[in-house]
Amino acid sequence: MPGKKSAALWLEKARTAGREAGAAWREGSGAGAESGAESGAGAVPGPAAGLKHFREALFGWFAGFHQAKRPSFAEALSQGLVFRDGYAGSSGLQPEQLGAPVPLAGTASVVISVSDEEETIGRLLDELQRLPLQEIIVVLNGCTDHSFAEVRKRSGILMVNDPQRLGHDVGRSIGAALAGGDAVLFLDGDMAVPAEELAAFLYEQESGADVVLNNITGFLPVYGRQDEVSRCKLFLNQALGRPDLHSNSLTAVPHVLSRRTLSHIGTSVLAVPPKAQAAAVLAGLHVTAPCTVDVIRRNRLRQSNSGSHNKVAQLIIGDHAEALGEAIRRRGPRLHWTSLPRAELAKVRNGR
């Protein structure tokens, strides 16, 4: 972490750069076509074009000033916020019109699996439209409510509507096959997560990760009180030689996969998330869990996913068995574990 003086200096640089970029935009640099007033002196360019210019200016400044070392997401967001304030103050636009100020270099797609979530999908889409995304893909999964109508209220969204309920995992697999971004963010329609929390996953992927998992470790009880699903996730990661991942898994959202990951493991395997995770680890891809979203508190309880031995839990346990089977097929029955000779075991036992 930088010192207080260093952090304050960066924030002041960001604010100044934002003011200069906003002033240039207000004076008509690259504007014109979407003016919100009659052309002439004092005309303020329209918010859609201003948003585009703002994102380009933010990334240009960020990339230019952070060539040597990429800052943490918290630092990048802090700088983005003051850049946005400076830009808004001199451009005539409001900060909320400029969305979440996240400096992303590549293109990003979002895949949302939706199953009767008319009450939350609209709020989630509102948050996503605050981010610099290439595309939003919504897979309607056997919906019988007004989810379709809620999605249709917003423009520029690709919808896939399957009348049968095939499950969120199959929906993610379908959406991933359609996505064209450098990174793909996966979500469920029942969680309206703030844009800034979601942006952290995309930022970490651009920082070098291939798979960015949601770190839910802090929300889980001690091992003796964990449910069977959490224990299966933990065991799979240990069997793959990644105990550092704890119980974090592709079974949970949000998570991000890079284009490199999708090219290595394919999109069809996403229908079995633990198997996809095993494939990514076995391929030597960079799998990490640096971001945290409280999905346990936000998760919508349904009859199928609550209670002991519920249907969803049994499905996930079966998915983990399939993932272990695939790992054993590739690595052998010992996986990453090795058997020590008896003499070596004795030394370990005796502390020598």
pLDDT > 90 fraction of the chain, expressed in percent and rounded: 74
Q: How far apart are the first and last CA of the chain?
A: 40
CA 81 remoteness from chain centre: 20
Reported as a single tens digit per residue, the pLDDT across 190-226 is 999 999 999 999 999 999 999 999 999 999 999 999 9
Contact of 49 with 97, CB cutoff 8 Å: no
pLDDT along the chain (352 residues), means of 10: 71 95 84 43 66 95 89 95 96 95 94 95 96 96 94 94 90 97 96 95 97 96 92 96 96 97 97 97 97 81 58 92 94 82 75 64
**DSSP symbols for 284-332:** T--EEEEE---HHHHPPP-GGGSSTT-HHHHHHHHHHHHHHHHHHHHH-
- Starting at the earlier edge strand, list the strands of the sheet with 108-114: 157-162, 135-141, 108-114, 183-188, 255-258, 211-214, 287-291
- Domains of the chain by residue range: 4-98, 108-331
Q: By three-state DSSP, how is residue 83 classified?
A: helix
pLDDT value of residue 153: 93
What is residue 114's DSSP assignment?
A: E
> For 108-331, CATH number?
3.90.550.10
Give the chain's largest Cα–Cα span: 88
Amino acid identity of 295?
V
